[in-house]
Structure 1
Amino acid sequence: MTNPISSWHKVVESKDADMLKSILHKEATFYSPILFKPQKGRKMVLAYLLSASNMFEGSGFHYVKELISEKEAILEFNAEIDGIKIDGVDIISWDEEAKITEFKVMLRPLKALEKVGEKMKEQLEKMSLWEKLKLKL
């Protein structure tokens, strides 16, 4: 069985929205460390993941460990924003067609969570503006 992890790494490097869209299930769910409710649907997951990609630009974001099984992966990452070191984990699940069905992000420490929340709000506000300008996701 194939998995979408190598494609995910290409998306992280290139910020290719079309490639990301191609590996997301149409009913994918995103679990944010800063939102209570899961975000459902490809469009919402795209918005959050693209916003996160922009937020982490210039932060030294990189994966340090990977655990991959048949339909799930846990990818540990590090980054630094405004002098705050961020440790995080992406937990990714996919279906038989290698389409991502769930994407869950966990972060530590609390200062990192607060900083990411602040920066994600800025990015999502920009994304909302992009939608108003009719840019396709």
Structure 2
Amino acid sequence: MMTPAEFLQHWHKAVLSKDAALLSSIIAEGCELHSPVVWKPTNDKAYLIHILQGVIDTIDDFAYREEWVKGNGIILEFTGNIAGKGLVGIDKITLNEDGLMSRIEVLIRPMNTYIEFATRMREHALAFKKEIA
């Protein structure tokens, strides 16, 4: 079983290095993604990893600036830029009994930057269907 601290070490390393295999190793099968760019939650792990990599690639100067841990819940606050516009977001992560991510909810603001982000991520999300076809 992985502790929240161990999960966070792997998470930050995976995000920083854009390592899909490492991300996959800390995400539970059936993990729920609640994203501002998808209409309804998804629990397709391959799609979730595709979306997470898209976020990392789409947001310039992506960095985590705060983190809070309570039990099996983690909140990570991040910052970045899209087309020169700053953004702030939160990843709200829930870990299962094995310490793997079983749910992630992403929130982003302000609206003008979010619209640009959503436009770019829509293209990235649609590319997933083409990759598996």
TM-score by length of 2: 0.90
Structure 1 residues without counterparts, runs of 5 or longer: 133-137
Counterpart-to-counterpart distance in 1, 2:105 and 2:112? 19
Provide the secondary structure at the position in 1 that maps to 2:61.
Answer: coil
Query: Cα deviation per residue 1:61-112 (whole Å; 9 max; x = unaligned)?
Result: 1111110122011111110111111110010110121110001100111112
Q: Work out whether 1:73 is the aligned partner of 2:77.
A: no
Secondary structure, aligned partner of 1:40: coil
Q: Distance in 1 between matches of 2:61 and 2:53?
A: 17
Q: Which secondary structure state, in structure 1, belongs to the residue aligned with residue 38 of structure 2? A: coil
What's the Cα RMSD here? 1.4
Task: Give runs of aligned pairs for residues 47-66 of structure 1, distance below 5 A.
Answer: 47-56=50-59, 59-66=60-67
Report percent identity of matched pairs.
28
Distance 1:70 1:13 in 2: 25
Letter in 2 for 1:121: R
- Is the CA contact 1:54–1:123 (under 8 Å) kept in the aligned structure 2? no
TM-score, normalization: structure 1? 0.87
Alignment-mate amino acid for residue 80 of structure 1: N
Which 4+ stretches in 1 moved above 4 angstroms? none
Match of 1:24 in 2: 27
Counterpart residue number, 1:98: 99
Kindly indicate whether the alpha-carbon contact (under 8 Å) linking 2:79 and 2:89 is maintained by their aligned counterparts in 1: yes
